[in-house]
Amino acid sequence: MRRVYADNNATTRVDERVVEEMLPAFTQVYGNPSSMHTLGAEAEKRIRLARERVAKFIKADPSEIVFTSCGTESDNAALFGTFEAYPNKKHIVTTKVEHPAVLNPCQLLAKKDYSVTFLSVNSEGMLDLDELKDSIRDDTAIVSIMYANNETGVVFPIEQIGQIVKERGVVFHVDAVQAAGKIPLDVEKLNVDLLSLSGHKIHAPKGVGALYIRRGTKLRPLLVGGHQEKGRRGGTENVPYIIGFGKACELASEHLPEMNTRVKTMRDRLQNGLLKSVPHASLNGAKSPRGPNTLSIRFEYVEGESILLLLDREGIAASSGSACTSGSLEPSHVLRAMGVPYTSVHGSIRLSLSRFNTDQDIDHILEKFPPIIARLREISPFAKASAKEVNA
C-alpha cells in the first residue's frame, strides 16, 4: 500500500543528511563540550558550527542562540524567564490561537497574580491590530504571538506587530516553530526579542530546539545548573541533536524556495481538488495569508476521528482539529476562536506537506479522500448532506 505522510505540522521525517552529521557524535566525538581535552574540544567545535547555522537561518548573531530540548521549553523559557526578570510587571498579551506551549503557561500565570489578555481572531483567523495596540499596558511584561498557526497555517503580520510592540518598549516573543522552513525568518526586520524554534518540525530529530534571545534582553534562565549556554540554560549540551538541528537549519534555508514553489503548488492542487470533489467542504482561513504547506478543511456532518481512521487505512497520515482524537471533548481552541460553525467544527482535517511529498502523493489523497467523506455521510443521521450535491 502506498504510504502518504501529510502530517508534517505534527512532526517531520529526519533528513538523511542530518542523520549523517549526527552519527559521529554518538560513538566518536562523544566528549563533553565543557571538558578540557581533544574530544571535548571537537564536540564544542561542532556545537559552534551548529550555533552559527541556526543564527544564519534567522539572521541573528550566534551569541544570541540558546539550545533547548524542544519548542515547548523555548516558549516556557521565554514567558517565565521574562516575568522573573521583570518582577514588577504583571501583564501579558497573547492570542487565543496560540499553541498549548504558550497558552497553558499563560493560563497558569493567570491563576497567580498575573493578568493575561488573550487577543481574539476573526472568522478568517486574523488578529485586529487595534485591539493589540489597546491591550498593551504600562505593566505589560511581554507580548507573545505565534508566527504561523499550527492548525490552519494562518500567518500573522509579525513585522507590523513587532513595530507596534517595539514602540511601546515591551519584550516581544514570537513562537516561530511552524513558520521555520516555510517563511523566511529575519529577527532584525521583525523586531523580535525572543523567538522559539523546534528541530523536529524542520527534519531534525525530536528533542532539540532553540530560543533566540536578542542581545540585551533581560531573561532569567528556566533551567539553572552549570555554566552551559553562558548560564542561560543549564544542563550538558545534547551534542548530536544540536549538530543535527544546525544541519537541518542549513537545509531548511536551501529548500525554502522549493517550499514556496513546488510544495505550495502541490498544496494548492490538493486544496482545489478536495474543495471541488467533496460537497459541503470549506477552507479554514481561506482569506488569510497562509504558510505554503498547510491545508485545513472543514467537512460538514462528519467527525474528524472517523475520517482519520479511514484515511489511515488508505495509508494517508493526517491530523484533525476534532476533539475525539485528543481525548478532550471540545474541538480545537483555534477553530472555536475563529467561530467555525458547529456543523463542521468537529469535522476539520489538516493536511500538511513537506519537501518529501510528491505529486503521486497528492494524486493518492485526491483519489481516496472523497469516497471516505461520502461513506461517513451515509452513516450520519444528517443524510441531507448527500454526496450528489457539489460545491458550485
Partner 1 sequence: MWDYTEKVKDHFYNPRNVGVIENPDGVGEVGSLACGDMLKLTFKLDDEGKIGDVKFQTFGCGSAIASASALTELIKGKTLEQADKITNQDIAEYLGGLPEEKMHCSVMGREALEAAIANYRGEKAPKEEGEIVCKCFGVTDKAIERAIKENGLTTVEQVTYYTKAGGGCGQCHPKIQEIIDRVIKETGGGIWRVKPERKKLSNIQKMKLVEETIKNEIAPALQKEGGDIELIDIEGDRVVVALRGTCSQCVLSGWTMQSFVQAKLREFVSPELVVEEAKE
70 is catalytic: no
Dig out the grid coordinates for 214 from the structure.
536578542
Closest to partner 1 by CB, 5 or 172 = 5
Q: Is residue 103 within the footprint of partner 1 (CB under 8 A)?
A: no
Helix (H, G, I), strand (E, B) or coil at 349: strand
Question: Which of 70, 106, 249, 324 is flagged as catalytic?
Answer: 324
The C-alpha cell 513546488 sits at: 262
| Cα dist from 343 to 113, 123, 301, 382, 385, whole Å | 38, 15, 6, 10, 11
Q: Does 378 bind partner 1 (CB under 8 A)?
A: yes
> Whose Cβ is closer to partner 1: residue 155's or residue 349's?
349
Q: Which is nearer to partner 1, 86 or 299 (CB)?
A: 299
**Alpha helices in the chain, H assignment, sequence order:** 16-22, 24-27, 38-57, 71-85, 100-111, 129-135, 158-167, 187-190, 239-258, 264-277, 304-313, 323-326, 333-337, 359-379
User: Contact with partner 1 (CB under 8 A): which of 342, 358, 384, 386?
Assistant: 342
> Quick one: 247 exposed, middle or buried, by C-beta within 10 A (0-12, 13-18, 19+)?
buried
How do 115-119 and 140-146 pair as beta strands? unpaired
Footprint on residues 268-307 left by partner 1 (CB under 8 A): 301-306
Among 254, 330, 359, 367, binds partner 1 (CB under 8 A): 330
Q: How far is the CB of 364 from partner 1 (least distance, A)?
A: 19
**In the complex, least distance from residue 123 CB atom to partner 1, rounded to whole angstroms:** 18
Sequence letter at residue 220: R
Nearer to partner 1, 1 or 379 (CB): 379
- CB closer to partner 1 out of 288 and 322: 322
Residue 34: which residues within 8 A CB-CB, separation 6 or more?
40, 44, 226, 227, 228, 236
Burial class (CB in 10 A: 0-12, 13-18, 19+), 220: middle
The 343-362 contact track toward partner 1, x by CB under 8 A, reads: x--x----------------
Task: Mark the segment that binds partner 1 (CB under 8 A) among 66-74, 87-95, 207-215, 342-350.
Answer: 342-350
Told to check if 3 binds partner 1 by CB under 8 A, we report no
Give the chain's radius of gyration (CA, Å): 22
**Of the candidate residues 87, 169, 216, 381, the single one contacting partner 1 (CB under 8 A):** 381
Q: How many residues bind partner 1 (CB under 8 A)?
A: 27
Within 310-329, the residues that bind partner 1 by CB under 8 A are: 310, 313, 322-325, 327-329
Q: Where does this chain bind partner 1 (CB under 8 A)?
A: 301-306, 309-310, 313, 322-325, 327-331, 342-343, 346, 378-383
**Active site residues per annotation:** 324
